[in-house]
Amino acid sequence: MRLSPEYVAAIKDAAGEAFGQTAVVRLFGSRVHDDRKGGDIDLHFEVDPGRGTDAEVETFEQLLFARIDEQRVDKIFSVRGQLTAPFEQIAYRDGIIL
């Protein structure tokens, strides 16, 4: 995984504060692979119903970028207990829980 411990902690803390302590965050995409270079940070959030609102996403980004350098972070959400789209299933399958 190509994220420093500081980045992992910042992501987890920001997600817990913005989306609730039950939110699960997965890293997926190119940053999962140690042998690749570059790439944005692809995050999958599994949240409770009613969470993952635009306001919460904005809060997450403010909290995160207060601790790490601002950069491209792609975010997808799955609501716990609801059906998932094919792209979400890839994040579940290939992602690493932070």
Condensed to tens digits (0 to 9), the pLDDT of residues 48-61 reads 999 999 999 999 99
**CATH number assigned to the domain comprising residue 80:** 3.30.460.10
pLDDT band (50, 70, 90) for residue 37: confident
How many folded domains does the chain comprise? 1
Phi, psi values for residue 59, rounded to 5°: -60, -45
Condensed to tens digits (0 to 9), the pLDDT of residues 62-86 reads 999 999 999 999 999 999 989 899 8
| pLDDT value at 27 more than 80 | yes
Q: Give the domain extent around 27.
A: 5-97
CA atoms of 82 and 85, how far apart (whole Å): 10
Enter the tokens of residue 1. Answer: 């995984």
Q: What predicted TM-score, i.e. pTM, was given to this entire model?
A: 0.91
